[in-house]
Amino acid sequence: MLILDKPYVSEFLEDTILELNLPVLKNKAAKEFKLNEDINFLEEKEFVNKVKNEESLIYSNSENPINWITNHLSFTDLPEKIDIFKDKYQFRKLLRDMYPDFYFRKVSFDELDQIDINEVKIPFIIKPSVGFFSMGVYQVNSALEWEKVRGELKKEVNNMKDNYPEEVINTNEFIIEENIEGKEFAIDLYYNDEGKPVILNILEHIFSSGEDVNDRVYITSKKIIEKYHNSFLDFLNEMGALINLNGFPMHIEFRVDNDENIVPIEVNPMRFAGWCTTDVAYHAYGINVYEYFFKQKEPNWEKILKIKKDKIYSIVVADLPNDINVNDIIEINYDKFSSYFENTLEMRKIDYNKYGVFAFLFAETSYDNWGELETILKSDLREYLKFKH
């Protein structure tokens, strides 16, 4: 069963829903998406009764329905699981015994001006305790830098309050935690009916610099899966022993340092990679993550990778520069953007006026053409924008 909501439903997800005849909650967002009328839509009461009377797997493409789940599915353990993972402070408390030396604390938005920076372990990351993407996330490397970051953070909070519900981004409370050095990874997985974690994809989040926290490029490849799959699986088994996660999908982010130590950053419950970018697993490995979850299938990674080309598969988030006014944009040169890449697999146009992103693009790149991704990672993308002036 699915609960769909904004910001985005891909054609791939819609086609999968039809193919598998999956029931979908008939909510306001599902109507606004103007999805295929052949989808098995259930009215609210019918959906809730189906969950009550049957053992149902539930997936959401977004975290917007969290409040609905809390209010209507309180007879399940979903609200409890969601609360632990969605609140980054609660998540850190859950893992305290696994990471006893990890520094973290909670502060309110109103307390930002009163923080004694000398009492904080520097460098540190500050972010909304309940957040989405890299919104409101800042790295602070010195007391002097904190003064600048604090102003930028307060400005960003005021700008993003209207775009997402409080269940997705709560700008009233923040978590400060020690900076985790190393490579960053994001994993789409589910725990099956027996509580066993099943990894569906591993994405490496690459950055333009040590200070960069943007979501511009994520990559996956045969090499990444082969190197990290078993290490992440060990952690997921250990976390699964702390809380009952049977039948639960999630998107979890990690840092891995030079000594291969794994430290989780956060968990996004009930969904895989946001904005349906999880669909890249199909382009890269032929894995339909929705089908694998609902049918409780496990990838045969050895078989998949044995015949897999040694290429890089990427998600490129075409976000607009922060210093431009979207009203000054006349048009986006989508053809030029798409043709920049060695092999564009799919490009999805996005309403940049509303979300500050003009496209999500999936690409296939040869390892000897790595510079293609480095360039797009550092670009402000202005060359694809046409302005009034």
DSSP collapsed to 3 states, the chain:
CEECCCCCCCHHHHHHHHHHCCCEECCHHHHHCCCCCCCCEECHHHHHHHHHHCCCCCEECCCCCHHHHHHHCCCCCHHHHHHHHHCHHHHHHHCCCCCCCCCEEEEEHHHHHHCCHHHCCCCEEEEEEECCCCCCCEEECCHHHHHHHHHHHHHHHHHHCCCCCCCCCEEEEEEEEECCCCEEEEEEEEECCCCCEEEEEEEEEECCCCCCCCCCEEEEEHHHHHHHHHHHHHHHHHHHCCCCCCCEEEEEEEEECCCCCEEEEEEEECCCCHHHHHHHHHHHHCCCHHHHHHCCCCCCHHHHHHCCCCEEEEEEEEECCCCCCHHHEEEECHHHHHHCCCEEEEEEECCHHHHCEEEEEEEEEEHHHCHHHHHHHHCCCHHHEEECC
Query: Does residue 290 belong to any structural domain of this protein?
Result: yes
Q: For the chain, what's the residue count? A: 389
Locate tokens 């060695």: which residue? 342
Average pLDDT of the chain? 91
The 10s digit of each residue's pLDDT in 69-79 is 999 999 999 99
- Claim to verify: residue 339 and residue 213 sit in the same structural domain: yes
Q: Which pLDDT belongs to residue 138?
A: 85
On whether residue 89 sits in a domain, the answer given is: no
Same domain, 146 and 114: yes
Residue 93 belongs to some domain of the structure: no
Are residues 196 and 170 located together in one domain of the fold?
Answer: no
Q: Are 136 and 169 in contact (CB under 8 A)?
A: yes
- Residues 316, 301: one domain? yes
Q: What is the mean pLDDT of residues 29-48?
A: 95
Phi-psi region of 296 (alpha: psi -120 to 50; beta: other; left: phi over 0): left
Please report the pLDDT score of residue 128 as a whole number: 83
Contact 66, 131 (CB under 8 A): no
How many distinct structural domains can be found in the chain? 3
Averaged pLDDT, 262-279 = 95
pLDDT at 112: 81
Is there a single domain that holds both residue 322 and residue 236?
Answer: yes
Confidence of residue 12 (pLDDT cuts 50, 70, 90): very high
Q: Which pLDDT score, from 0 to 100, does residue 213 have?
A: 63
Residue 316 pLDDT > 60: yes
Per-residue pLDDT averaged across 111-119, rounded? 83
Please state the rounded mean pLDDT for residues 133-155: 82
pLDDT for 384 beyond 80 = yes
User: How much is the pLDDT for 151?
Assistant: 82
**Omega before 197 cis (within 30°)?**
no
Specify the range with the lowest mean pLDDT, choosing from 151-165, 183-197, 257-271, 295-309: 151-165
Same domain? For 104 and 174 the reply is yes
Show the domain range for 231: 183-387
Angle at 360 between CA 127 and CA 323, to 5 degrees: 55
At 167-206, the pLDDT tens digits run 555 667 888 998 888 999 999 999 999 999 999 999 999 9
Q: Are residues 201 and 253 in the same domain?
A: yes
Residue 328 forms part of a structural domain: yes
One domain, residues 30 and 171: no
Q: What is the pLDDT of residues 61-108, one digit of tens each?
A: 998 999 999 999 999 999 999 999 988 889 999 999 999 999 999 988
Domain limit, last residue, from 128, 155, 178: 178
pLDDT at 153: 85
Which CATH number goes with the domain that contains 172?
Answer: 3.30.1490.20
pLDDT score at 322 = 82
Tell whether 161 and 112 lie within a shared domain: yes
pLDDT of 374 strictly over 60: yes
In a domain, 64, yes or no: yes
170 and 190 in a single domain? The answer is no
Mean pLDDT of all residues in 275-303: 97
Tens digit of each residue's pLDDT (9 = 90 or more) over 244-270: 999 999 999 999 998 899 999 989 999
**Contact of 362 with 346, CB cutoff 8 Å:** yes
**92 is a domain residue:** no
CA distances to 3, 14, 47, 152, 276 from 37, in Å: 16, 11, 17, 45, 21
The yes-or-no verdict on residue 132 having pLDDT over 60 is no
Shared domain for 381 and 340, answered yes or no, is yes
pLDDT score of 107: 87
Q: Does any domain span residue 91? A: no
Segment 215-228 mean pLDDT: 96
Pick the last residue of a domain from 143, 178, 213. 178
**300 and 344 within one domain:** yes
* pLDDT digits 0-9 by tens, 324-358: 888 889 999 999 999 999 999 999 999 999 999 99
What is the rounded CA–CA span in Å between residue 372 and residue 376?
6
pLDDT > 90 in the chain, percent: 70
CATH code for the domain of 272: 3.30.470.20
Q: How confident is the model at residue 27 (pLDDT cuts 50, 70, 90)?
A: very high
> 163: pLDDT confidence band, cut at 50, 70 and 90?
low
Closest Cα partner for 47 from 20, 17, 68, 77?
68
User: Mean pLDDT across the stretch 17-37?
Assistant: 95
Of 84, 115, 142, the one marking the end of a domain is 84
Q: Is residue 318 part of a domain?
A: yes
